[in-house]
Structure 1
Amino acid sequence: MALWTHFNILNYLTDIVDILIVTYLIYKVILIIRGTKAVQLAKGIMLIVAVWFLSSLFQLRTLEWILNNAITYGLFAIMVIFQPELRRVLEQLGRGRLFSRNPVVEEQHKQTIEAIVKATEYMAKRRIGALMSVERKTGLNEYIETGIAINGNLTSQLLINIFIPNTPLHDGAVIIRNNEVVAAACYLPLSESPFISKELGTRHRAAMGVSEVTDSLTVVVSEETGGITVTKNGKLTRDISLDQLRDTLDNELSHPESSTALRWNWRGKHNG
């Protein structure tokens, strides 16, 4: 009796593991196709399956026969239609990345990084003052509400246009969430730290202030010198290069768990 009970428990555990693995694989496939044209095709397939189920339930024989044949031969069509996505899944599996981070999110991070770096490069060369804060785990809604809603796709061109001098939105901060410019002309809290250099202005104090109360990563471009500054966790690093900015953004956005990779970023010129 004990042996039979033990056997049943093993069967239950095997079923649970089986269900969890299949569920996780389906979840990863959904993440991979999300944001592609395959999503609409998947919705169409789900609709056909739903209609087939209803036709079977209400005994609509003709419709059921048509859908049965459509589904049978549709499997071959699916392999052709979803060929790019299937290839992507196989590539992810071959590289050992199927069980890693969401590739769609990684691509968004890359786009965010490149947009910020390109805009920073343009503005630094021309000494256009800028203040860009990237939201992370701590929400920035209370500061977003002080600005003007943008809700636009993040591009370097959009960032540059916002900070062009003598335009309505150039004063204040831009707040970035994921791959979107959420708001511009936002007011950030000014730091009262006595350790900030007297030569630094309001933008740097605002960047320092928001880093003291949130986990956001903030980039400042000085309109006096064109220097690039980054603030994070109450620390301010001045005069970093574009390569250092790119690496910092990459480490913070794409690999937030890799704290050791960040150490070099905060060995430079600190104030605070």
Structure 2
Amino acid sequence: MEDLLRPFLSLRELTTRELMIHVVDILLVTFLLYRLLMLVRGTRAWRIVLGILGFLLVLYIAGRTGMSTLHYVLEKATYVGPAILAILFLPELRLALEGFGRPATLLPRVIPNQDELAEARTVEELVAAVAELAAGHIGTLIVLEKESPLNDIAANGVMLQAMVSAPLLGSIFYEGNPLHDGAVIIRGDMILAAACRLPLSDSARLDQSVHMRHRAAVGVTESYDCLVVVVSEERGTISVASEGRLQRLGSAAELRAVLNRELRNMEDEPPPKKDREPRHRHRRLRRNGVEVKP
């Protein structure tokens, strides 16, 4: 018990100036750790962090239980750990360094209000636009932001800041429009940017027949928490990508269900059943050749 209390008892020996320095030091470290967690939250880096924690847990268990061979191999692997982490977290490290040049990004991200959340109108506009684009075999790539901010992706495109509407989306992806070649970024009910370049996926799970547009859709979901809607220019099919996986949909109704579930946390309710009158009200009976009501 004394060992646990010793660090706290030693605080009484510090001067006021030294105590304030320690408090500021702890607050700064806490803030940096918080910003680091917020940076990786909702991205593939979060899964890497969980993998590192699992690795350290196995290393600790191997050392405590006497599994010397496993402990030796894992311990040697930790020597190259910093270099591996630098490679794995290269995109996140770049974003963090860029963030120090933008003081506003150091502040905690405000929780989106009701106006920033996807509304039913937005879902219907998206479904209408995608259905029309699919019918015309017009290639489409729409990225819907969820937890991860896509500011760096939007920065390489053309900023729009316009309300989501089916005619606007249709005009953007029209072949004669200069903005059609690229992705549209949507945040809540706003089209944030168009003609954006997305990272391509090199996942071995994708079939060789998957084209560049679909690989870009999968690639951005491997790095960010987002939902991507893709329309194939060759086949006119509708697909959605999420968490590094690509799923082909059969109809616009399926797309509506996916958007409501992923963006609004709502399940599609079955249409209300119409009250049907009993059959005997519309049935006529014949008795002795005369039609009578039952």
Q: Which residue of 2 aligns with 1:240?
A: 250
Match status 1:121 vs 2:139: no
Match status 1:176 vs 2:186: yes
1:207 Cα deviation after fit = 0.4
Alignment of 1:204-243 (within 5 A): 204-243=214-253
1:239 Cα deviation after fit = 3.6
Match status 1:136 vs 2:135: no
List gaps (5 residues or longer) in structure 1.
1-101, 263-272
Alignment of 1:136-215 (within 5 A): 136-215=146-225
Q: Which residue of 1 aligns with 2:261?
A: 251
Q: Distance in 1 between matches of 2:228 and 2:243?
A: 10
What is the SS of the residue equivalent to 1:185?
Answer: strand
Q: Distance in 2 between matches of 1:120 and 1:140?
A: 21
Q: Distance in 2 between matches of 1:165 and 1:250?
A: 29
Over 3 Å counting, the alpha-carbon distance change for 1:103 and 1:179 in structure 2 is closer
Residue by residue, what CA displacement relative to the aligned partner does 1:8-49 show, whole Å, maximum 9, x if unpaired? xxxxxxxxxxxxxxxxxxxxxxxxxxxxxxxxxxxxxxxxxx
Q: Distance in 1 between matches of 2:186 and 2:242?
A: 15
Q: Distance in 1 between matches of 2:249 and 2:120?
A: 23
- Name the amino acid aligned to 1:250: N
Q: Distance in 2 between matches of 1:103 and 1:145?
A: 25
TM-score normalised by the chain length of structure 2: 0.51
What is the SS of the residue equivalent to 2:250?
Answer: coil
- Name the amino acid aligned to 1:172: G
Identity %, equivalent residues:
41
What is the SS of the residue equivalent to 1:183?
Answer: strand
- Name the amino acid aligned to 2:164: L
1:240 Cα deviation after fit = 3.1
- Name the amino acid aligned to 2:256: R
1:166 Cα deviation after fit = 2.9
**Aligned 8 A contact 2:249 2:255 in 1:** no
1:241 Cα deviation after fit = 1.5
List gaps (5 residues or longer) in structure 2.
1-112, 269-294
- Name the amino acid aligned to 2:153: Y
- Name the amino acid aligned to 1:199: S
Q: Distance in 2 between matches of 1:222 and 1:193?
A: 19
1:104 Cα deviation after fit = 5.9
Q: Distance in 2 between matches of 1:188 and 1:103?
A: 28
What is the SS of the residue equivalent to 1:210?
Answer: helix
Over 3 Å counting, the alpha-carbon distance change for 1:135 and 1:105 in structure 2 is closer
Aligned CA RMSD, in angstroms, stands at 2.0
Q: Distance in 2 between matches of 1:249 and 1:175?
A: 15
Over 3 Å counting, the alpha-carbon distance change for 1:247 and 1:121 in structure 2 is same
Question: Which structure is higher in helix share?
Answer: 1
Q: How many pairs are equivalent?
A: 157
What is the SS of the residue equivalent to 1:225?
Answer: coil
TM-score normalised by the chain length of structure 1: 0.55
1:103 Cα deviation after fit = 7.0
Runs of 4+ aligned structure 1 residues displaced above 4 Å come to 102-106
Over 3 Å counting, the alpha-carbon distance change for 1:234 and 1:125 in structure 2 is same
1:134 Cα deviation after fit = 0.3
Alignment of 1:71-150 (within 5 A): 108-150=118-160
